[in-house]
A and B are shown apart, each in its own frame.
Chain A
Amino acid sequence: MQSNPAQAKSLYPKPSGQSRKLKDRLVIILFLLPALVIFLLFVIYPIFRSVYYSTFDWKGLGAATHNIGLENYRKILVDAVFQKSVVNVIIIIVLSLVLQLPAAIILSTMVSRDLPGRAMFRTIFFLPYVISEVNAAIMWMLLYSPEPERGFINGVLVALGGSPVNWLADMKIVLFAVFIVLTWKYFGFHMLLYLTGLQNIPSEIEEAARMDGANSFQNFWYITLPLLSGTIRTSVQMSVLGSIQQFILVWVMTKGGPVNASEVMATYMYRFGFVRFQFGYGSAVAIIMFLICVIFSLLYRQLTNKPDYLTGL
């Protein structure tokens, strides 16, 4: 990309060319400005504010005056409840990668084919993602209701001769009950990502493979999957970051309970920040979450720095 200044001069001898280039630059800068200002003001500045507050013992009333250095961070890292929330987040991430994403890939390959009614299936699969999170959570609370007369799932279980399960009240089950809702809610989004990825794969490649005698499975395994690698990379990253930041569904359905059994980092942060009003402590949790996300993103980019087959990016 770098150009020799001498060459540049010979390429653009007229001053008018130079000024037009400058004008273009100015236009770009001007167009970027509004977004940049908003970004700095509402994203970057609050992060620094949080870093500042995270060193205080501060209840949110009046000015923060009691600076305690890194004490908040120390307390968080040794807190068994925070450790539990990290473990829960890791469980959710692993389950998502193992169950949610493969399901999304399989479904997206299915609805991208010329199946009858595929438009309808696409819509159905994508529907949960469109529903607001609070609505979805309340709907699932009703479905999970422990009483078979009111909770659909337990109703079905009892009708089939089983006994009702306390989905959200049993400390051993609650995290998985929550995970089912997360999967239901977000696999449609990943499916959409894969659908876009699939559309970018030229059908000629698949046709050529078929001419060479590849069956459907071989086609999927040796052609579709490798060509989807770029999309998979994005999908994994979004899934992991989404899991780390998951809040609304968990908070509405269980508030992280019973007794922290479904606690995730975001509910832990909310509890201390906005329920107990320990804003310094809450800010420190937010910073830890932020660092985890940043470190993950950087490492992930580094580790998966292989160019995409199709775009070379």
Chain B
Amino acid sequence: MTKKLLALISVVIIATLLLAACGTPATQAPAATEAPAATAAATEAPAATEAAAEPVVITWWHITTKDPGLTEFQKMADDYMAAHPNVKIEITVLENEAFKTKLTTVMQSGEVPDIFQSWGQGGMIEQVNAGLLKDITADLKGEWGDSLGALDAFAVDGKNYGVPWDMGAVTFWYNKDLFAKAGITTVPTTWSEFLADCETLKKAGITPISVGEGDKWPGMHIWAYLVSRIGGAEAFSAAAATGAARTGSFNDEAFVKAGYELKKLVDGGYFQEGFLGATHDQMNATFGNGEAAMELGGQWSPSVEKANSADGVGVKNMGMFNFPAVEGGAGKVTDIVGGGNGFAIGKNAPPEAIDFVKYLTNLDNQKIVASTGMGIPVAKGAAASIADPNMVMVADAVANSTYYQLYFDQVLPSAMGSIINDAVQKIFAGTATPEEVCAEIEAGFLAQ
């Protein structure tokens, strides 16, 4: 027994020594890893006759996992590298959720990618406060900054830390054939018209709305829109502010009333069977297969419903309308809830990375974004290149918007998205009253 113990202790001691030994050279390690890269570059150098510029590696993380974006982004990077032989762009493509997880993990170590996906605002503010982003205000001054719209979403306290490349809107998409079948000739512009249309559709044996409440966020957008229709821009900004600027709360009437209006849809039985467990893909399958007349979704909806439909074609006769205005509410029917995608610049980004982002968002590439249907471009003059009629409708809705409300979860601290999603799901499930749901969101906000 004592011998065993001795052996064990000696093993532990040796292990500790070895660990300590591992620890010391760690500081020198980066130099060692850099060395081979330098020699590799040196061997390539003779190819270029002139003394090439210092080799630079740019890391870029994006979440465009599907075509056309996947290929186009790679092509843009390849073209840039061809024009700048000293620059090597390392692209990491990640799925949305995986990206968020991985980004947070690397941020703990301060190893921020040079360029990465961002939705601006809430999450970006936290990254700025942690000192992980680079201030590019000076770079944006002048031509580059003037060429882009929606820059504010990627600015914190007047300083820019990223640029948008796509700005869309959440709207109702509907199946014109199913509307016609139910005898509905005009799209609803008010909430009571909308509820009446839902009833008409249901009576005609058609599921009015498809929603993927298993993923929570698709249904949350209905509630968010109702809040902004009932309370206008004021209600949300008053509740979302911090400190002395906070003049409202999530317990305010607009939020509670939105819950009750949402409840009407649930109680009316206007959602598809099993909506509580349906994912975003399943929701789009239901809509894409022509089994539901409407869905609330962003500029991504036409391509997602198509991809998830049984025949790969999706809804043949699709239309779009703005979220209806709620009678007596402060919000207009032309107010938009939406958001987009942008590039955030990491704190260690070399000047070449900024130059590359400048290239990515130039008019030519923004036209590619428009013409391939990757998104709604933000560069002035690029919108004309949008080929897809569905995207033209979204771009028009954005262009004609009287107020642009960024997604609630993008404005608020990052944890709030999940808190609101979880709370609002309870209205869909009928397990809590709208008052309880609002109280839960308010408590979550105060805990941030």
Do the two chains bind?
yes
Residues of A whose CB lies within 8 Å of any CB of B are: 1-2, 25, 28-29, 32-33, 36-37, 40-41, 59-62, 141, 145-147, 150, 164, 166-171, 174, 254-255, 257-259, 271, 274-278
Contact A40 B276 (CB under 8 A): no
Shortest CB distance A83–B (Å):
15
Contact B14 A33 (CB under 8 A): yes
Q: Is B131 an interface residue (CB 8 A)?
A: yes
Selecting from B79-87, B170-178, B423-431, the interface stretch reads B423-431
| Residues of chain B lying within 8 A (CB to CB) of residue A166 | 273-274, 276-277
Cβ contacts A to B, 22 pairs, < 8 Å = A2-B2, A25-B7, A29-B7, A32-B11, A40-B15, A59-B415, A61-B104, A146-B278, A147-B274, A150-B285, A164-B273, A166-B274, A169-B277, A170-B277, A171-B429, A255-B214, A255-B216, A258-B276, A258-B429, A274-B100, A277-B414, A278-B415
Shortest CB distance B293–A (Å):
16
Q: Is B135 an interface residue (CB 8 A)?
A: no
Most buried by A among B15, B101, B286, B419: B15
Contact A37 B274 (CB under 8 A): no
| Residues of chain A lying within 8 A (CB to CB) of residue B285 | 150
From B100, B214, B419, contact of A257 by CB (8 A):
B214
Shortest CB distance B168–A (Å):
23
Shortest CB distance B74–A (Å):
26
Residues 1 to 60 of chain B near chain A (Cβ within 8 Å) = 1-2, 7, 10-11, 14-15, 18-19, 22
Shortest CB distance B119–A (Å):
14
Closest Cβ neighbor of A62 among chain B residues: B130
Given contacts A62-B130, A259-B426, A276-B418, 16 further A-B contacts (CB under 8 A): A33-B11, A59-B126, A59-B414, A60-B108, A61-B126, A61-B132, A147-B291, A166-B276, A169-B214, A171-B431, A254-B214, A257-B214, A258-B276, A259-B431, A276-B415, A278-B415
Complex CA–CA separation, A232 to B431 (angstroms): 41
Number of A-B contacts (CB under 8 A): 112
Contact B18 A37 (CB under 8 A): yes
Taking chain A's interface residues, is the majority helix, strand, or loop, or is none over half, making it mixed? loop
| Residues of chain A lying within 8 A (CB to CB) of residue B279 | 141
Question: A146-B277, A259-B426 are contacts. A61–B107 as well, Cβ < 8 Å?
Answer: yes
Q: Is B275 an interface residue (CB 8 A)?
A: yes
Q: Is B405 an interface residue (CB 8 A)?
A: no
Q: Is B401 an interface residue (CB 8 A)?
A: no
Q: Is B127 an interface residue (CB 8 A)?
A: yes
